[in-house]
Each structure stands twice: as C-alpha cells, then as structure tokens.
Chain A
Amino acid sequence: MNRLVKFFDGSKNKMILSALFFLVLLLIPIVLRISGYENESYVEGVLILCMMWAAMTLSWDLLMGYMGIWSLAQQVFFGIAAYTSSMMNYYLGMSPWLGFLIAPIVAAVVGGLVAIPVLRLKAAPYIIIATMCLGEIVRLVFTNLVDFTRGELGFWQMEAFDDVFGINMNGADKIPYYYLIFIIFSAITLVCSLIAKSHNGLAMKAIRDSQEAAESLGVNSTEIKIKIFIISAYMAGFCGVFYAHYMKILTPTDMFSQSMMTEFIAMDVFGGIATTRGPVFGAFFLTIIMESLQGLDKYKLLIYAAILMITTLLLPNGVMNSSRTLKLSLLGRLTKHGRTESDIDAEAGNG
C-alpha cells in the first residue's frame, strides 16, 4: 500500500482519482445497459475513440514529453500494425487475434528502424523534418505498391475479431470492443507510468534537459532512445491492430498522413506533456469536443486549431500542468515587478 501511494508521488488524492477514473470507465457500459439508455452505442463509440487516442498519445508522449524527441512518425507505427494485421487476415486468413501477437512486433521493428536516423539528430526541427519525410515516404510506398497494399483503395471489411469465450465480437454490440480497448488502454497507461517512475524515466528526462550532462553522469542515451522508440512503437501497434478490426477500413491517406499525428500533438500539448494524466485528459477532452461538434463539421478543425493555439500561448505546459504556471504568472502580475511586453521581447532576445 505504501508503495502504491509512493507511486502516486505520495499523494493519496491522486491515487484515489486515478482509481475512480478507471472504475467509472469500467462501469459506464454496465450502467448504460442496465438503464436502457437509447444512445448507448454512440456513447460507447465515443469512449472507445477516447481510449484509443489516449493510448496513442501516451505512447507518443514517452518520446516527445519525456525525452524531447519530436518524432512525428507515431502514426506510422499505428498504421503499419493496422496494415500488418489486416494483410495477415486478408491474404493468409489468419485470425485478427493473432494480429495482436505479430503486428505490434512489426511496429516495434519499424520503431527501431526510425530511431536510427533520429539518433543522429539533436535539434528538434531536424527531427521534425526527418520524421515528417519518413511518414510521407511510408504513405507513398503504401499508395504505390498497389499489388501488395491495394493502393489508395486500401483494405476494408476486414474480419472482426473471432468470438472468444462465447462473446460475440461481430461489432453489433460495442461492449466487447469497449472492454478490449479498455484493457489495452489500461495496460499502456500502466506501462507508461511505470516507465516514467523507473530509473529509466529519470534518465529520459535528464536526456531531454541536457543530453551532454546526462551522458556525463553515465546515462547511455543511445540505448535508452532506441529502447523507448521500440516500446513506444510496440504500444502504438496494439492500438493499430484494434483500429483495423474495429474500424474495418484502412487507406494510406488515413493511416499515414500527418493529420492523425496532428491530433496526437494537440492532445498531448493540450493536456500537458511528460505526465500520464495530461495525454489522457487531452485525448478524452478533445475527442469528446470533436464528437459533440459533429453538427459544426465545417468549423470543427478550425476550433481544434484555435484550442491548440490558445493552449500553447496561454498554458504552454498544458491544462493538467497549469495550476502552478497560472499561480506563478498571477503572482508575477500582482507583485510589484510585473513583467511588461518589452521585457518579454527583450528576454526573447536571449534565445
């Protein structure tokens, strides 16, 4: 118990909140089913998306948040796993469950490969450009290899997961899928927070703040970076397999273009990087907002971009990390040496 409390930075409140959050998620479908709520499957569908994007954002946050590696290729790991599983199913008739066994490993291998060029680059802009190009190359390769990937056509009508334990997985009832992604999401959350709390987590932050300093203290940055790339891609792979057999439609544009990546960035930055609750909050909040703006389709992305912009300008540490930032800036304004515009500009001159 003490160790558990310690895991939550010694805060019992945090522990209780986290437990409550997962408990509520666990109970929602049951409550909905019992109460006979008519939009049950819609609510479940939204929450499935929330959990899937939260898991993806968490996996990316290991790279960007904890290590400061601005890799914009997370959608590649997701897409590769989705494609692998679909193609195993389509060409070889293998069960989608086997996808969970094999596809994440393929994604992890790709993650290790992506890590290689990124390792040589230190400045964030270089990594951003390199990984953007990588993503685009993958998209084009999947578009062009028509015989193998069916090109722009993509795959659809993949088989659903086979029934297990007598549970019907045909998708008419969303509950089995809900619990499937719940398990994936919980597991990824747990793994991410375990990594963050571990010895390696500390080393990761050290590398982010100063690679030279970290290395001088005996941190093997290359090894940690490769490891995290592989773990991150492996986790994204699970989401990809789930996506393939839940959504049942894959095209190279949907899977590999930058727009999905943009969502992960928005969710992570909005919620607050380098935490567990940040990406989860960001993913849930933005997904729910987007779903509820369905009527305003035209302005949806505009609102999305505005949220992203406003958070970056006003709450650069994200919503979940902001109580301290807000306090500080308020304090600064209230005390006599409040900063003025020209001060801020002058400070900018330093960088």
Chain B
Amino acid sequence: MLRIKNLNAYYGDVQVLYDVNVEVNDGEIVTILGSNGAGKTSLMKTICGIETRRKGVIEFNGENLINLPAHKLITRGITLTPEGRHLFPELTVRENLLLGAYAINKKINDTYEKVLEMFPRLKERLSQFAGTMSGGEQQMCAIGRALMSNPTFLMLDEPSLGLAPNIVEQVFDIIKKINKENGITVMVVEQNANIALQTADRAYALENGEIKMSGDAKDMLRSPDIQKLYLGL
C-alpha cells in the first residue's frame, strides 16, 4: 500500500531523515519506534508534506505523492492524527468531527453515526468545546475526526502521549478494532514500545533519522537490542 523509498527530509538546512525506507502492506498495523528526537514526528510530517523539505519516493497505491500538496493527501485516503492531537480547541466536538470530512463531498451521515457508535463518550460531549475535554477524550476525538473521511490508511503520531496507562490500553484496543473491523491499514509512531509492539504486525526502529532495524513485531519484542533500547529491560 505505502512504499517509502530513500526519503530524505530537511528543516531549513538541517537534515532530519536519511534515506528512510518503509513499506506498509494492505491491512497491516506497522509501528515505528524511536526515542525522543529520533525523527518519528518528522517522518510523519514529511509523509504528509508539512514543514519539511523532502526528496525521495512516497508511493501510495502506485501513485508518487512527493509533489502532492499537504491538503490533498486526505483525498487519497490518508489521514494523520498528529502528536499532541491538534484538535480545534474552540470548536465543538461536533464541528471538529465534521471538519474531519471537510474534503469529502459525499454524504457523511453514515460515517458520522459509525464514529459516534465507536466513541460513545464523544456522543455525550458533542456540543462541548474540544479544548475543554480530558486528554483521553481528546485523543478519541482526534481518532474519530481522522475516521470521518473514511480513510484507507491511518497514521497516528504518539497516541499514548500524556495519557494514563489504562486509557493508553483503550486507545490501542480501538486502533486494533479499527484495523480488524474497518479494514484500515495503520501506521503508528510510538514511544511506548511495549504496547506498540504488542499491537503491531511489523515494526521499524528509527534512530537519528535513519531506520536501524525492522522486522516482525513479535520478533522485535524478543530482540535483546530492542529490549535494551526501548523496553528498559
């Protein structure tokens, strides 16, 4: 589905990604591990074409996206829930969700109902400003908003950030559910390697803007290097 080949990215004159190669197959959950500042968020933003200057190949279902403006990405079926969620704080939950389908010209009532079904908490808070909700609720809202455009490929950047452990588990359960039940391919960037590896099918490890390791998530979980670097064992 997604094939990233020799992707290089720069902030101004500073290079942040070096020849990154990542492949995501249809129906998979792929996780990208990395410590703070490894370039995980840069990778996400670069795939979207936001903030960084990039060169290389980003092939999605056979189309090279490298010259696609960021706002067109959603029309190809790709969405990102960014690090720190980036909800519109002064719009209501409902407006946030509807904006998720801004680029979609088709009827969205079904999707809207489906998303609310998936996140019953949001249903109770439709007319509340998004900025006033708790972290967990905001994360649910961000995922719900991303689903509003009926994506085929969902990227999540640090969905566990700042959430209590039991909420983190809930979030990852939902990610699994989205993947299994809705057939959405998922790429998740995560610092919490333990839960990410338990959820994912395959994993990549990113350090200093380079892919250092890749493989089956179950194998990675057992790999002594990974255990030392990311699992603190």
Q: Which residues of A contact B (CB under 8 A)?
A: 328, 332, 336-337, 339-340, 342-343, 346-347, 349-350
Contacts of A349 in B (CB 8 A): 50-51, 70
A346–B49 CB distance below 8 A: yes
Residue of A nearest to B69 (CB): A342
What's the Cα separation between A347 and B45 when bound, in Å?
A: 11
Check A346/B10 contact, CB under 8 A, given A337-B53, A337-B55, A339-B53: no
Contacts of A350 in B (CB 8 A): 51
What's the Cα separation between A332 and B13 when bound, in Å?
A: 8
A-B contact sample (20 more), CB < 8 A, given A342-B49, A346-B49, A346-B52: A328-B13, A332-B13, A336-B55, A337-B8, A337-B10, A337-B53, A337-B55, A339-B53, A340-B53, A342-B67, A342-B69, A343-B53, A346-B50, A346-B51, A346-B70, A347-B51, A349-B50, A349-B51, A349-B70, A350-B51
In B1-33, the 8 Å CB interface with A consists of: 8, 10, 13
What's the Cα separation between A343 and B45 when bound, in Å?
A: 12
Residue of B nearest to A348 (CB): B51
Q: Which residues of B contact A (CB under 8 A)?
A: 8, 10, 13, 49-53, 55, 67, 69-70
What's the Cα separation between A232 and B55 when bound, in Å?
A: 49
Contacts of B49 in A (CB 8 A): 342, 346
Q: Is the interface of B mostly helix, strand, loop or mixed?
A: loop
What's the Cα separation between A342 and B68 when bound, in Å?
A: 9
Contacts of B69 in A (CB 8 A): 342
B175 to chain A, nearest CB (A): 27
Residue of B nearest to A332 (CB): B13
What's the Cα separation between A342 and B49 when bound, in Å?
A: 9
Contacts of A347 in B (CB 8 A): 51
What's the Cα separation between A341 and B181 when bound, in Å?
A: 40
A347 to chain B, nearest CB (A): 6
- Could you list 12 examples of A-B contacts with CB < 8 Å? A328-B13, A336-B55, A337-B10, A337-B53, A339-B53, A342-B49, A342-B69, A346-B49, A346-B50, A346-B52, A346-B70, A350-B51
What's the Cα separation between A343 and B70 when bound, in Å?
A: 10
What's the Cα separation between A344 and B69 when bound, in Å?
A: 12
Residue of B nearest to A342 (CB): B69
- Residue from A336, A340, A342 whose CB has the most chain B CB atoms within 10 Å: A342
A309 to chain B, nearest CB (A): 24
Contacts of B53 in A (CB 8 A): 337, 339-340, 343
6 residue pairs, one from A and one from B, having the closest CB atoms: A343-B53, A350-B51, A346-B50, A342-B69, A339-B53, A346-B51
Contacts of A343 in B (CB 8 A): 53
What's the Cα separation between A39 and B52 when bound, in Å?
A: 57
What's the Cα separation between A328 and B12 when bound, in Å?
A: 11
What's the Cα separation between A337 and B70 when bound, in Å?
A: 19
What's the Cα separation between A1 and B70 when bound, in Å?
A: 58
What's the Cα separation between A328 and B69 when bound, in Å?
A: 25
What's the Cα separation between A337 and B49 when bound, in Å?
A: 15
- Residue from B13, B53, B69 whose CB has the most chain A CB atoms within 10 Å: B53
Contacts of A336 in B (CB 8 A): 55
Residue of B nearest to A345 (CB): B69
A346 to chain B, nearest CB (A): 5
Contacts of B55 in A (CB 8 A): 336-337
Contacts of A340 in B (CB 8 A): 53
What's the Cα separation between A336 and B55 when bound, in Å?
A: 9
B127 to chain A, nearest CB (A): 29
A41 to chain B, nearest CB (A): 52
Contacts of A339 in B (CB 8 A): 53
What's the Cα separation between A349 and B49 when bound, in Å?
A: 11
What's the Cα separation between A342 and B52 when bound, in Å?
A: 10
Residue of A nearest to B9 (CB): A337
Contacts of B50 in A (CB 8 A): 346, 349
B88 to chain A, nearest CB (A): 15
B178 to chain A, nearest CB (A): 27
A283 to chain B, nearest CB (A): 32
What's the Cα separation between A213 and B33 when bound, in Å?
A: 32
What's the Cα separation between A346 and B52 when bound, in Å?
A: 7
A78 to chain B, nearest CB (A): 39
A328 to chain B, nearest CB (A): 8
